[in-house]
A and B are shown apart, each in its own frame.
Chain A
């Protein structure tokens, strides 16, 4: 293994892992804020119990998201120093803005929210969780602006003296059409995670007839959120697909493993055979669908891998310009498949729980519990697709991944860090999961003021 390969594995593992926790932070903060607002407005203690119950899940998850985020900022410099030097002028700006404008906001007000339950006026305390929510989603915006710049560089020029990129317009970077499409996609996908978490936790209790007043409401909320977020994720993903066809045609071709340019191209749901284009043993195809999603026209032309690669060789010089096709092909399908399945199950769940019905079948609760991984897997597949689909580039058309790696770092160092991060992250995932399950099983805390109930505030202190 080379430093390059090891560093890529490390970046992939740490990023996918970090992004297990980020979506729930992003979405559950808003939903907890909504629950707490409902409690303030309707004066119904059910919503306070809901706030505390899901608030605790949110905090366990938030902690892991925060600590794994530090690694993300550091490893650009540690493992990708050539990249950092090359892009720092442009890429560093949104990262620094994220820290100053949003990370301070969420980190400061999360402390205020945890410890402020009876120190602040109810209104200010409620405002603190809303500020956390706004902070996390703005934070996601800056990070995605940085990532979108790697997918489609804008607002820069290459300085011929230093061979580095120089920022020419920060506005262009922050209004890059790619980030304007990516941010909503990620934002809505994140809500599918929160929806699935709420549904799973509620199902566990509803199946046992415990805390029905809280978890009936929560179940409906979770299902509605999952379904609406699923639809919004699909719509925004569709916008992205067309953008990808024009900005990164190779990625779209690799998503379908389409080797030659084609009009009225079909979309394969499933293929058995070799993906290098020479053999296809069996596949299930939807006619015209690929052309439709890439160009909005069933007869539209979709560029093939071989054609794009030839064009790139003319433009960037001889070389290999295609990503690992089986990875892009399957991750694209898994992303859509997991996401669609989650949304379909949510629609089914809404139908089965209509008019306050409480399904009797144990299957309903089993599916609700086992549906939990679906949005997580969808999101992981989506990131693997978009990052692997950009290869061999780190910055599309400007810098390859091979050129990006740190020149002075040794194999043994990266083996050490890869081992430490993998083991540490696995342990953290196990502990966070165990704590969350334990908390879910304990149920929603008793209503405030109920005789014999333990002092309900401050529930979140350390």
Chain B
């Protein structure tokens, strides 16, 4: 395996990490208006992802940075070609990112309701558009001989791209619902489980159709295996969610997301961005990659520091592992430990 292929795999891992981690963040944001009945419940939901959402989003920035450093032509063609979808994603991520900090600073219900809507939109839009973008990358987009995108926004809104968008939207919603079951207690947790069952009704068939179509039109034997295992993991995860085994359910959806990304990248290879204009104009692992020395340097950096990052990020999940109890209703009795406000340990 040469270094360019190693970086292709690493970028696939970064994107799948991003989808697994920010996937449940997006899901929680999408479910906010449907699951949170009052402000206290919505705060509890937000606080389940509060300590980790920012770290999760860095997976996107690292994936982008890795593409820039290891495959400059891929980064250049993709980001300039998908200009308007990325603009929408950026606007959504900006609004969503400040929501977390701004929402809680003012008590006024109208203020909070406005930010709740913003958090929903800021989560749902990227959840949809990332799927549209990745489905289109696999499907191939019009690139000319200079690897410049020659389509427009409508080129990307084909049925396969839109199906991909619905898959990520529904999968992230399911993933987020299961995350909420896992991280809350009582009434909220119970309703999150019902919601997970409903989300699964949409996510499982959509993902199954998408994976089957993808395998049929772009697949190779190896991706047949990853696609099949992804489907099994998803169905198993959904079944576990319904049966109240949320740990297994979360493992199932996380695995399904990782393997779905692996399937898409597996379909791409050895291309990174196939051209629908002519196969000769496709960007490939070989013609889009940086020179050897850059890849060597970046490989050492990645090998040395990725374990460190995974270590401390995993540690934060361990620190904040307790379920959130939701609003504290009873006043503390004398001599007992004072319960913390919303978002604290139960």
Give me the interface of A with B, judged by CB distance under 8 Å.
59-60, 62-64, 66-71, 73-74, 76-79, 81-82, 84-85, 87-93, 95-101, 103-105, 107-112, 114-116, 118-120, 159, 164, 166-168, 170, 406-409, 413, 416-417, 420, 424, 428, 431-432, 435, 438-439, 455, 457-458, 461-462
Residues of A within 8 A of B47 (CB): 115, 461-462
A104 contact from B64, B90, B93, B309, Cβ within 8 A:
B309
What are 24 A-B contacts with C-beta separation under 8 Å? Answer: A62-B101, A63-B98, A66-B97, A70-B61, A73-B64, A77-B76, A77-B79, A78-B79, A81-B76, A84-B72, A92-B70, A92-B294, A108-B54, A108-B313, A115-B47, A166-B291, A409-B83, A416-B84, A416-B87, A431-B98, A439-B105, A457-B340, A458-B340, A462-B103
Contact with A along B128-150 (1 / 0, CB 8 A): 00000000000000000010111
* Chain B residues, Cβ within 8 Å of A93: 69, 294, 297-298
Contact string against A for B residues 90-123, beta-carbon threshold 8 Å, 1 for contact and 0 otherwise = 1101110110111111100000000000000000
- Listed residue (A67, A90, A159, A170) with the most chain B CB atoms within 10 angstroms of its CB: A67
Task: Confirm or deny: B316 has a beta carbon within 8 angstroms of a beta carbon on chain A.
Answer: yes
Residue of B nearest to A173 (CB): B297
Is B66's CB under 8 angstroms from A461's CB? Answer: no
Dominant SS among interface residues on chain B: helix
Nearest Cβ on chain B to A2's Cβ, whole angstroms: 16
Which residues 41-64 in B have Cβ within 8 Å of A in the complex?
43, 46-47, 50-55, 57-58, 60-62, 64
Number of A-B pairs whose CB atoms are under 8 Å?
243
Task: Decide yes or no: A424 and B68 within 8 Å by CB, A88-B290, A107-B55 being known contacts.
Answer: no
Question: What distance in Å separates the Cβ of A364 from its nearest Cβ neighbour in chain B?
Answer: 30
Interface stretch of the complex, out of B156-164, B207-215, B239-247, B300-308: B300-308
Residue in contact with A92 in the complex, picked from B68, B94, B97, B146, CB distance below 8 Å: B68
Tell me, in angstroms, the Cα distance from A59 to B81 when the chains sit together: 35
Say whether, besides A84-B68, A462-B104, A428 and B319 are in contact (CB < 8 Å): no
Inter-chain contact B65/A99, CB cutoff 8 Å: yes
Q: Which residues of B contact A105 (CB under 8 A)?
A: 309, 312
Do the beta carbons of B78 and A167 come within 8 Å of each other? no
In the complex, the answer to whether A73 meets B61 with C-beta atoms within 8 Å is yes
In the bound complex, do residue B61 and residue A99 qualify as a contact, i.e. CB atoms below 8 Å apart? yes
Interfacial chain B residues near A416, Cβ < 8 Å:
84, 87
Q: Which residue of A lies closest to B150 (CB)?
A: A408
Q: Which residues of A contact B149 (CB under 8 A)?
A: 408
Q: Which residues of A contact B294 (CB under 8 A)?
A: 89-90, 92-93, 166-167
Q: Are B61's CB and A111's CB within 8 A?
A: no
- Kindly state the separation between the CA atoms of A82 and B64 in the bound complex, as whole angstroms: 17
Least CB distance, B98 to chain A, in whole angstroms: 5
Contact A96 to B69, CB < 8 A, known contacts A73-B61, A77-B79: yes
Determine which of B50, B55, B98, B298 lies in contact with A461 in the assembled complex, contact meaning CB atoms within 8 Å.
B50
The complex places the Cα of A118 from the Cα of B322 at a distance, in Å, of 13
Across the A-B interface, the 3 shortest Cβ-Cβ residue pairs: A88-B72, A77-B79, A92-B69
Chain A residues within an 8 Å CB radius of B70: 92, 96
Instruction: Decide: B54 and A167 in contact? CB cutoff 8 A.
Output: no
18 new A-B contacts at CB < 8 Å, known A92-B75, A96-B66, A462-B46 = A63-B97, A66-B54, A74-B64, A74-B86, A85-B73, A85-B76, A88-B73, A89-B291, A91-B68, A96-B62, A100-B62, A103-B61, A103-B62, A107-B55, A115-B51, A167-B293, A168-B293, A406-B80
Residue B344 interfacial (CB < 8 Å)? yes
CB distance from A119 to the nearest CB of B (A): 6
| Cβ of B77 under 8 Å from chain A | yes
Q: Does residue B345 face the partner (Cβ distance < 8 Å to A)?
A: yes
User: Known contacts being A85-B72, A93-B298, A462-B104, is A417 close to B80, with CB within 8 Å?
Assistant: no
* Chain A residues with CB below 8 A from B51, complex form: 111-112, 114-116
- Considering the complex, give the chain B residue whose CB is closest to the CB of A91: B68
Cβ of B148 and Cβ of A408 under 8 Å apart?
yes
Question: For residue B46, which residues in chain A have a CB less than 8 angstroms away from its CB?
Answer: 462
Question: In whole angstroms, how far apart are the Cα atoms of A107 and B341 in the complex?
Answer: 24
Give Cα A462 to B43, complex, Å: 7
Which chain A positions have C-beta within 8 A of B148? 81, 407-408
A420 to B90, CA, bound (A): 10
B336 within 8 A of A: no
- Judge whether B61 and A435 touch: CB under 8 Å: no
Q: How many whole Å from B96's CB to the nearest CB in chain A? A: 8
Q: Is B338 an interface residue (CB 8 A)?
A: yes
Given A111-B54, A118-B340, A462-B100, verify A84-B65 contact (CB < 8 Å). no
- Chain B residues closer than 8 Å to A438, beta-carbon distance: 105-106
A407 to B146, CA, bound (A): 10
Question: Which residue of the partner chain A has the closest CB to B75?
Answer: A77
B281 within 8 A of A: no
- Residues of chain B with a CB closer than 8 A to A170's CB: 297
